[in-house]
Amino acid sequence: MLTAKQHELIRFIQQRLEDTGISPSFEEMKEALDLKSKSGVHRLISALEERGFIRRLPNRARALEVIKQPEDATPAVKRPVAANDPVTMSRAAAARTPEPANDIIDVPLHGRIAAGAPIEAIEGQSSMPVPAALLGPGEHYALEVSGDSMIEAGIFDGDFALVRRTDSVRDGEIVVALVRNEEATLKYLRRENGKVRLDPANGMYDPQIYDAHEVVVQGKLAGLLRRYH
């Protein structure tokens, strides 16, 4: 069962695809659904994707495909067109042309996180604009990296880690780990002998080993942003 907004969004995407051959931008979806921000659109798309109603086509920022319609959806009536109809030909050409990756999502920015010894992860109220093409399904947030213990993984002090919220991760993935309910750190996570080992990616640092109940996974690394000054 879809929510009213999910239902409205999938109808809007399908109608736009039928009319133009191009999926709508995040801005167009935000306006059509009367949402306050494009992050709301991103959450709706992620929910529809996870439930198998739509999928993102690779290598294009504005490329969505409707896989199935809700059971109570009314099929759209397609008008007959001539094969050499210039409007149809123009739409087909536009559909073949990759769209620029210009859709932006505002994700919450939650302060700084250690890539060294654990430090407190500061919860903030600010947000950060992120290209939608960098984000997959699910809910995301950003953290500013502090420290150098993950440099061999290409993560440097001052980078912004894009994190997908999840508590389900595999051994060897880079995660945001909350340690003893007070400090957060960015590390490789491995489980062994009932313990949790948080491994750095810098030979100057030693692994950190904790009892399993002392570590709570708050997400896994989905991407990085770096500012050049």
CA–CA separation, 74 vs 214, rounded Å?
52
The pLDDT tens digits of the residues spanning 93-120 come to 444 444 444 577 788 888 788 776 565 5
How distant, in Å, are the alpha carbons of 21, 54, 56, 100, 134 from that of 59?
Answer: 17, 16, 9, 10, 11
* Domain 107-225, architecture per CATH: Ribbon (2.10)
* pTM of this structure: 0.59
How distant, in Å, are the alpha carbons of 7, 40, 94, 143, 176 from that of 113?
Answer: 38, 25, 43, 6, 8
Would residue 149 show up in a list of annotated catalytic residues for this protein?
Answer: yes
Average confidence (pLDDT) over 36-56: 83
The pLDDT tens digits of the residues spanning 148-169 come to 999 999 999 999 999 998 888 9
Confidence of residue 179 (pLDDT cuts 50, 70, 90): very high
The pLDDT tens digits of the residues spanning 9-33 come to 888 988 888 887 788 888 888 888 8
The answer to whether 4-96 and 107-225 have equal CATH topology is: no
Reduce the DSSP state of residue 39 to 3 states and report it. helix
Would residue 23 show up in a list of annotated catalytic residues for this protein?
Answer: no
Backbone φ/ψ region at 161: left (φ over 0), alpha (ψ -120 to 50), beta? beta
Residue boundaries of the structural domains of the chain: 4-96, 107-225
DSSP assignment of 62-128, as one string? Answer: T-EEE----TTPPPPPPPP--TT-HHHHHHHHHHHSPPPS--EEEEEEEEEEESSS-B-----SEEE
Among 25, 39, 46, 149, the active-site one is 149
Among 30, 38, 187, 220, the active-site one is 187
Looking at residue 77, its pLDDT comes to 42
CATH 1.10.10.10 fits 4-96, yes or no: yes
